[in-house]
Amino acid sequence: MHCYICGKNDVVAETSRQLGSGDVIIIPGDVAEVEDCKEFIDEAIHHFGKLDHLINDAGVTQSVVFEDYIHIQAANPIMDINFWGSTYITYFAIPHLRKSKGKVIVITSGAETIALPVASVYSASKAALIRFFETLRIELNPDIKITIVFPGVVATDMTTPRCIEHYGSDFIFTETVSRCAKGIFNGIFRGETYIEEPSWMKWIYVMKNVCPEIVEYVLIYIYIRSLKPFFKRD
């Protein structure tokens, strides 16, 4: 198994080797830059000769009440990385994935399904990502398969501190990285077009469609009781 990692991450590379990837290369770059995305694909093809899978998982979060942006342009990096970063690199990967009958895996977020307070632009970036790849799935059918992943809150350095700060140390909805990764891998292996991880996340989507008023009420309650005090304007 060969592994190509876009970005400077020696830990991921070493873990990949330990899991059986005999040939791993790392190319540092910025997915928000078009030329860097082109270089990612060019280097992969130059090194391996083909491209079988593209995993789009670059993303950043930003916790802020929308009206509290000092400069609205501060929201641009969220869309540049979360949305355009995946679309740029996919654009350059498509010709090679057609040749290999390959697959695109897109890591989105459960925040797309619900109106997540203090994450309006982040949620919008993930919603755009999902609609884009759903459309692309039709356009690229049957040459390239696309799997869209909806992860919940995964216990990483990026998410766990916020959960503890805003919801308390007993926040029960987090999932370990290893369990999440295993669930995603199994779903891809089964050829699923959508993967909810953990699996109970799908019930949130059902509730949102069947009883949107109840979901909105719960979110308003969470925002007023748990989040608003942390983001109160001076």
User: Annotated active-site positions, please?
Assistant: 122
Measured between its terminal Cα atoms, the distance across the chain in Å is 54
Helices (H), 59-150: 76-79, 85-100, 120-140
Cα dihedral sign, 182-186-187-189: positive
d(C-alpha 234, C-alpha 226), whole Å: 18
State both tokens at 233. 């304007």
Cα dihedral sign, 166-170-173-176: positive
d(C-alpha 69, C-alpha 157), whole Å: 24
CB proximity list for 207: less than 8 A, separation 6 or greater = 214, 215
Instruction: List the Cα angle 27/176/194 in 5-degree steps.
Output: 75
State both tokens at 206. 């059902």
